[in-house]
Structure 1
Amino acid sequence: MDTSSVFAADCFLLAGRLLMQSGAETYRAEDTMLRMARSQGYQDAQSFVTPTGIIFSAGHESPTRIAQIPRRATDLSKIAEINTISRALTANQLSIEEAYEQLKTLENKNLFRSELAQVIYAAIASGCFVILFMGSVWDMPAAAIAGGIGHWVCLRVNAITKVKFFAEFTASIAVGLMTLLALYIGFGFEEDKIIIGAVMPLVPGVPIANAVRDMMAGHFVSGVTKGAEASLTALAIGSGIAFVLILF
């Protein structure tokens, strides 16, 4: 067995796995792995990527490597870092050993902002979305508070249960309750604008865009799968809000 081809396959597979775990499109992961492989002389490299796994071979005489993708998130900073490494490798600015070391370092690096920062950004975005949807400036504070608390609940529940859809359902319930509380104490005025603004940070905008882009690129399995996942997320958000409105 050619150990160099095995090492190379592991490097290319790592790049593809990190891309998929960071929320990249399927065609981007496949294209990145194949470009990296062909730049190193593996012209017969083949890859098959789905949202939950990758199958990759550097060539007909090389062993096939498989990687499972148990979890996915949206991390555009990490996607940009991986693209930079892959471009440097294909331009012969990095050796494959250096590229692999950088990818391993990136794998263990957390590029997400702190939980507090994420909550603050979600609150700011929620308030701004009220204006975007033609709401009143007086409803911005209520939407900001509801959106920030909803995002915090989503992060906490997801960390405890590891079930994304349940976390989003619980977070939307929190948004609904905070909106009704704001209206009750006179802190908000337009219920629909506050709710819409507050749930926007939970809406799966990037997964929906990726599903469409994969479908347009001919990756129908991944496109349909990601579309179904985004639809379930939207259903969880809508169900949580509906539950609160029906209950109260």
Structure 2
Amino acid sequence: MELLPPTNYEIAQVCLLAGKIMLENGGETYRVEDTMAHVAEGFGVPNSHSFVTPTGIIFSIDGPEQTTRLIRISARSTDLHKVTLVNAISRRISKGELTPQEAHRLLKEIDAANTGFPTWIKILAAALASGCFLIMFQGEWRDFVPAFVAGGAGLASLGYFHRLVPIKFFAEFLASLLIGALAFLFVFSGIGHALDTIIIGSVMPLVPGLLITNAVRDLMAGHFVSGLSKGAEAFLTAFAIGAGIAFVLSFYNGEGFV
């Protein structure tokens, strides 16, 4: 039995799902558009067009059966393993190894899979990274434990506050506020010694490094809307972190609270 050629609707479904997974898990805008174009071309559609922003994707296929679809992106995180899996499927499509139905099924499995690390491992990694950043910023080894505890508590509280208040800015502000308060308590009790290096090391897991990198890469690739919006998001995150720490330091005069 001869198989029917895939319809534009089926191809658009696969392209949009691939783009959605990549954009929601830390993929750059230009990489998302490039992947969607390669997927469409792998299915025999060279004349596809896509417009990607951090909050939505518009995909269109020219021809007698013109298809235009829009998908909304409401949540974004970082899971580069999923981005790698989507790239692998894109390469298989380009080689003609997958039909649209098979590709869509595999992409749905990737989208539903929980490939991230458990929360306790993320907290432990953030705590260890905080201590290492303290040493990198020329802190003292005796402050490693305070930075370790404050950094881990900061990342743990970020997830908790985000569930309580589903506004990213306030969650980051409260998490940095907790980090600043813990750092002061360690110094006040004599466990910690250099308040500035403890705070600097502890807030580093909250810094939007990937967001800043993607914003710069999108701007360099000519995607000014996405680059500026991601840059604005990174600025708000940095401002929230700075505001939380500044709020604590405003009550601190070098020897204790005013």
Does the 8 Å contact 1:26/1:50 carry over to 2? yes
Query: In 1, Cα distance between the equivalents of 2:91 and 2:240?
Result: 38
Q: How does 1:117-128 map to 2 (within 5 A)?
A: 117-128=121-132
Does the 8 Å contact 1:43/1:59 carry over to 2? no
Query: In 1, Cα distance between the equivalents of 2:136 and 2:85?
Result: 32
Amino acid in the other structure paired with 1:24: G
What's the counterpart of residue 37 of structure 2?
34
Query: In 1, Cα distance between the equivalents of 2:30 and 2:177?
Result: 35
Q: How does 1:115-154 map to 2 (within 5 A)?
A: 115-154=119-158
Does the 8 Å contact 2:154/2:179 carry over to 1? yes
Amino acid in the other structure paired with 2:9: V
Runs of 4+ in 1 over 4 A off after TM superposition: none
What's the counterpart of residue 105 of structure 1?
109
3-state SS, counterpart of residue 58 of structure 2: strand
Moved more, 50-59 or 89-98: 89-98
Give the greater-gyration-radius structure (CA): 2
Residues 145-195 of structure 1 deviation map (CA, whole Å, 9 limit, x = unaligned) = 000001000011112222111111110001001000100111111111100
What's the counterpart of residue 198 of structure 1?
202
| Alignment coverage as a number of residue pairs | 247
Does the 8 Å contact 1:6/1:62 carry over to 2? no
Moved more, 70-79 or 220-229: 70-79
What's the counterpart of residue 167 of structure 1?
171
Query: In 2, Cα distance between the equivalents of 1:11 and 1:56?
Result: 11
3-state SS, counterpart of residue 106 of structure 1: helix
Query: In 2, Cα distance between the equivalents of 1:184 and 1:133?
Result: 21
**1:228 positional shift:** 0.4
What's the counterpart of residue 219 of structure 1?
223
Q: Does 1:231 align with 2:235?
A: yes
**1:76 positional shift:** 1.1
Amino acid in the other structure paired with 2:19: G
- The sequence identity of aligned pairs, in percent, is 48
What's the counterpart of residue 158 of structure 1?
162
Amino acid in the other structure paired with 2:249: L
> Where do 5+ consecutive residues of structure 2 fail to align?
252-256
**1:58 positional shift:** 2.4
Aligned-residue CA RMSD (Å): 1.2
**1:3 positional shift:** 7.1
Does the 8 Å contact 1:30/1:48 carry over to 2? yes
Query: In 2, Cα distance between the equivalents of 1:120 and 1:163?
Result: 24
Query: In 2, Cα distance between the equivalents of 1:132 and 1:203?
Result: 16
Amino acid in the other structure paired with 1:213: R
3-state SS, counterpart of residue 64 of structure 1: strand
